Chains A and B, each alone.
Chain A
Amino acid sequence: QKEVEQNSGPLSVPEGAIASLNCTYSDRGSQSFFWYRQYSGKSPELIMSIYSNGDKEDGRFTAQLNKASQYVSLLIRDSQPSDSATYLCAVNKGRRALTFGSGTRLQVQP
């Protein structure tokens, strides 16, 4: 079992729809959770961080964390073609280096 698991996709959604990206992690001691967006050929860009159970909203993005289920998700409302990228889930287990999932590729169709 991978430490951080994501569906590789591609996840295809029409423009204006809600994109839902999911991530599960194996270590119950994980303390902080991050979503990064990576465009092809570019470096990861931090878009959301979440540390406690529940929802955290920032503009069109909402991160959701459920530590009991070891599950973290990212919702993107009103998806735009410019949101098309690979979304990386990253988990910090306390040693400060992040453990990354392999990413989900999102395609937003105009």
Chain B
Amino acid sequence: GAGVSQSPSNKVTEKGKDVELRCDPISGHTALYWYRQSLGQGLEFLIYFQGNSAPDKSGLPSDRFSAERTGGSVSTLTIQRTQQEDSAVYLCASSLGVSNSNQPQHFGDGTRLSIL
């Protein structure tokens, strides 16, 4: 497809379980971002990948959160030992990621995560 693809669209799991969220960026986009949006709130930055550079993990809220990006394309966000406060919509975005910061980011439809 032409846009950012995320899966699953919805995920319901029990507290304490691990979850994996997947993001497939727009073809040709080298920069990939993960954000989360809690109900009625703005977007909170989590992690950023640019090409082969070390990711910017400064937004990850705890060591239960991790992400990887294989082959410079698909990314997986993993949340271990989920807690109820992890319930949110997890959004992935991608951009051309050239040397300046002016490239707009395009978002996928998100994964709505609910922790019971």
Contacts and interface: CB of A to CB of B under 8 A. Distances in A.
A16 B68 CA distance: 47
B65 interface: no
Interface residues of B, number: 24
A interface bracket (residues with beta carbon within 8 Å of B): 20 to 34
Given A44-B43, A96-B97, A99-B45, A32 B102 contact: yes
Interface stretch (A55-63, A68-76, A77-85, A87-95): A87-95
Given A88-B42, A88-B43, A101-B42, A43 B110 contact: yes
Contacts of A51: 102
Interface of B: 31, 33, 35, 41-43, 45, 48, 50, 56, 59, 91, 95, 97, 100-102, 104-110
